[in-house]
Amino acid sequence: MLKIDYDTEHRRAVFSWANEDSEHEWVRLLRYTISTHTDDIHNHAYNRISIPWWSFLTARQHLREILGQFEVKLVVANEAAVLLQKALTNEHRYQDIIGEPPIAHKELQEKLDSVGFIRQLKPEQMRNVCKIGSLPAAASFSVPGAGKTTEALAYFFYRAALNDRLLIVAPKNAFGAWDEQIEECIGAAEPIVRLRGGRDRIQELLKEHPQFSIITYQQLNTVSDLVSEFVAAEPTFLFLDESHRIKGGIRLRTAAAVLGLAHLPVSKMILSGTPMPQSDSDLIPQFTFLYPEIEAHEDTVVDLMKPVYVRTTKHELGLPPVRRLQINIPMSQTQEKLYELMKFELARQVEKDLSRRDKGMLRKLGRSIMRLLQFVSNPALLAREIDWISSDYLEALLEESPSGPKVDYVCDRARELASKGKKVLIWTSFVQNVEIISERLADLGAVYIHGGVDSGLEEDDDSREGKIRLFRDDPNVQVMVANPAAASEGISLHMVCRHAIYVDRTYNAAHYLQSEDRIHRLGLKPGQSPIIEILACPNTIDESVQHRLALKVDRMAQALEDESLNIDPIPLDPQFIEDGEAYTLGLDDEDIVSLLTHLKG
């Protein structure tokens, strides 16, 4: 006999059986099947184990087959039975989705009017909400500027009962947007309660039963038990903003905390403009959050997601196309010699680590690859650290240019654009570069944003919001230098800036696409095409990065059926231009293979 209980405190499925069954074949198969679905297994006793409830839901079908094959009697405790019935209902509801017509525009509008939803949905938003309005869990993958937040709120107010709550998990820099949107959608609404300030403070806030609340992914990691109690006790909608942040799956604490709540809400929604920045497998934890009852794999998840997501493309918004230019910046002779030495050392490390395949391999390689990217971007960032290279080489390198040819170019180009009255946004992946470039362009009023710049009031010139305000509003501030990891979300600069320059890029497609979207958003008029200059040193890691980013974005374009996703820049020589941490590398196995090809080439 197998008994299944639900551990309310830890949100886990608990399996137990008689001692005499412990050596039986069906127990061995049960243990094996569970281990193929999750690494998070707790062995409480010889005959008692537990796993996260959402993991149990994905393994249900396999476990059912084992029990049926051996005719094992199953006993399900009351609370587990209730949750299993809910899962079965959701599974059947998903199966009914295919071929089901969207809700009528009139029906949606009448319900929104009845609850005081005052914002008028645009045609694409109306279409999207009508498609997902009847679903218990759904996704909006619309591009930035298309109004994902408005769609999400319309979805909530259409589906929600009188006392239903809404809890949003979002990056900190998105909090303000949710405040603004809920006010525009329903006027004088109850404010969104920000769940922050430590465990005790969050516990007190939740005791007030807020109708609307918001928490960061990082904070959720530390108080997931408090949040689960709230969601389980109150009928709650749970929304994930920038949901690609859980793409790492159960291996990462953030994803584990989110997925642990997946079976508790009455309804769920995920929002992301870049839901699969690396590969199709990025969608698996996001789909699993929506429908943990349905097992998804890399070769099935795109098809499984299609019935439950909506997307408004840039083409549908009528945005002018981006003009991307690749600017080839040759390295100096000395920099080229040192690069070849670094490339040789990294090639040996890559081949060695690929043969071992240990858990720390990607992290270790990531650090070395970042060093190579740094050296190509600005050799001065690493020159003092490369102690195995002749000091004569180092002195010659720094004498040629204190910051390297890429930084020299971007500073000259920024001054050229500023002389024509054009503001410019400069992107670089490295904090030191951000500050170096900003300092060199101080005469243009340059401001900068990286992870060390705190959020604050717009009136504070040193805060993130204050620097954004200065760049937008002050004609004397002609340059902003930013790190995509810190500034690729939650910023709109398209009304004042339509020229961006990338000193360097990494393999992280999400950061790259989202950083581009800071100046390519709804509101641009025909003829206002943004110009993106991508600096690349020929025959370096820059070529591997470009190749891999193009492949990743192409895969996402195919999965989302969005032909407007295309990032291949046009090679252009600078002389023909007429007008003009903690950071995540975004590295996967295929990136390493591509890099190894470059290193050995």
* pLDDT 10s digits, 63-95: 999 999 999 999 999 999 999 999 999 999 898
Residue type at 43?
A: N
Beta bridge partners of 536: 328
What pLDDT does residue 587 have?
78
Q: Is residue 13 part of a domain?
A: yes
Q: Is residue 523 part of a domain?
A: yes
pLDDT band at 116 (very low <50, low <70, confident <90, very high): very high
CB burial class (10 A; 0-12, 13-18, 19+) of residue 355? exposed
Q: Quick check: 541 and 377 in contact, CB under 8 A?
A: no
Provide, rounded to the nearest whole percent, the portion of the chain with pLDDT above 90.
Answer: 64
Beta bridge partners of 140: 271, 310
CB burial class (10 A; 0-12, 13-18, 19+) of residue 25? exposed
* pLDDT 10s digits, 340-389: 888 888 888 777 766 665 545 666 777 888 889 999 999 888 765 655 45
**Given phi > 0 = left and psi -120 to 50 = alpha, else beta, which region is 49?**
beta
Q: What is the mean pLDDT of residues 484-503?
A: 89
Whether 278 has a pLDDT exceeding 90, the answer reads no
Q: What is the mean pLDDT of residues 5-26?
A: 94
What pLDDT does residue 530 have?
95
Secondary structure of residue 187 in the 3-state scheme: coil
Q: What is the mean pLDDT of residues 31-36?
A: 94
Same domain, 134 and 273: yes
Beta bridge partners of 168: 214, 239
Structural tokens at position 142: 């619309």
Same domain, 227 and 151: yes
Q: Which residues contact 268 (CB under 8 A, 6 or more apart)?
A: 136, 137, 138, 237, 238, 239, 240, 262, 289, 290
Residue with tokens 């969005």: 562
Same domain, 112 and 59: no
Q: Is residue 321 part of a domain?
A: no
Q: What is the mean pLDDT of residues 109-134?
A: 96
Q: Is residue 319 part of a domain?
A: no
- CA distances 177 to 241, 305, 511, Å, are 11, 26, 19
Sheet holding 497-502, edge to edge: 447-449, 479-482, 423-427, 497-502, 531-536, 323-328, 570-572
- Given 35, 55, 76, which residue is the final one in a domain? 76
What pLDDT does residue 235 have?
96
The whole-angstrom separation of Cα 375 and Cα 153 is: 46
- Given 262, 292, 312, which residue is the final one in a domain? 312
Whether 575 has a pLDDT exceeding 60, the answer reads no
Same domain, 203 and 247: yes
Same domain, 538 and 432: yes
Domain that holds residue 48: 2-76
Q: What is the mean pLDDT of residues 435-456?
A: 94
* pLDDT 10s digits, 172-199: 888 988 998 999 999 866 789 999 999 9
Same domain, 7 and 117: no
Q: Quick check: 468 and 392 in contact, CB under 8 A?
A: no
Same domain, 175 and 128: yes
Whether 331 has a pLDDT exceeding 60, the answer reads yes
Determine which helix (DSSP H) or strand (DSSP E) holds 591, and give its type and residue range. Answer: helix 589-600
Q: Which residues contact 158 (CB under 8 A, 6 or more apart)?
A: 108, 111, 112, 129, 133
Q: Is residue 36 part of a domain?
A: yes
Q: Quick check: 537 and 598 in contact, CB under 8 A?
A: no
The residue ranking higher by pLDDT, 368 or 53, is: 53
Q: Which of 236, 231, 117 has its CA nearest to residue 165?
A: 236
Same domain, 419 and 530: yes
What length is written for the chain? Answer: 601
Structural tokens at position 9: 């405190």
Beta bridge partners of 12: 7, 52
What DSSP state is assigned to residue 311?
-
- Given 295, 312, 329, which residue is the final one in a domain? 312
What pLDDT does residue 78 have?
96
Sheet holding 74-76, edge to edge: 42-45, 48-52, 12-17, 2-7, 74-76
Query: Any idea what the Cα angle at residue 556 is, between residues 552 and 562, rounded to 5°?
Result: 135
Secondary structure of residue 243 in the 3-state scheme: helix
Q: Is residue 585 part of a domain?
A: yes
What pLDDT does residue 386 have?
56
What pLDDT does residue 152 have?
97
Q: Is residue 344 part of a domain?
A: no
Residue with tokens 């950061």: 511
The whole-angstrom separation of Cα 51 and Cα 508 is: 32
Query: Comparing 372-381, 432-441, 527-536, which segment has the lowest mean pLDDT?
Result: 372-381
CB burial class (10 A; 0-12, 13-18, 19+) of residue 354? middle
The whole-angstrom separation of Cα 500 and Cα 341 is: 32
Note the Cα 383 to chain centre separation in Å.
33
What pLDDT does residue 384 have?
56
pTM, 2 dp: 0.83
Same domain, 158 and 291: yes
Helices (H), 122-187: 123-132, 148-159, 175-186
Give me the DSSP letters along 335-378.
Answer: HHHHHHHHHHHHHHHHHHHHHH--TTHHHHHHHHHHHHHHHHH-
Secondary structure of residue 128 in the 3-state scheme: helix
Q: Is residue 90 part of a domain?
A: no
pLDDT band at 577 (very low <50, low <70, confident <90, very high): very low
Q: Which of 473, 519, 485, 517 has its CA nearest to residue 499?
A: 519
Helices (H), 234-300: 253-259, 283-290
The whole-angstrom separation of Cα 478 and Cα 377 is: 22
What pLDDT does residue 523 have?
83
Same domain, 185 and 253: yes
Residue with tokens 């991307």: 324
Residue type at 564?
A: S
What DSSP state is assigned to residue 524?
B
Whether 425 has a pLDDT exceeding 60, the answer reads yes
Total structural domains in the chain? Answer: 3
Q: What is the longest distance spanned by two Cα atoms in the chain?
A: 84
CATH number, domain of 287, equals: 3.40.50.10810
Same domain, 53 and 120: no
Q: What is the mean pLDDT of residues 191-217?
A: 95
Q: Quick check: 513 and 567 in contact, CB under 8 A?
A: yes
Q: Quick check: 507 and 587 in contact, CB under 8 A?
A: yes
Determine which helix (DSSP H) or strand (DSSP E) holds 462, and give its type and residue range. Answer: none
Average pLDDT of the chain, as a whole number: 89
Same domain, 486 and 582: yes
Please provide residue 299's backbone torsions phi and psi, each rounded to the nearest 5 degrees.
-85, 0
Residue with tokens 């010889």: 46
Query: Any idea what the Cα angle at residue 321 is, between residues 488 and 433, rounded to 5°?
Result: 35
The residue ranking higher by pLDDT, 588 or 238, is: 238
Whether 451 has a pLDDT exceeding 90, the answer reads no
* pLDDT 10s digits, 231-262: 999 899 999 999 998 987 656 788 899 999 99
The whole-angstrom separation of Cα 175 and Cα 168 is: 9
Whether 584 has a pLDDT exceeding 60, the answer reads no
CATH number, domain of 544, equals: 3.40.50.300
The whole-angstrom separation of Cα 14 and Cα 600 is: 51
Helices 105-114 & 123-132, crossing angle to 10 degrees? 90
What pLDDT does residue 571 have?
56
What pLDDT does residue 44 have?
94
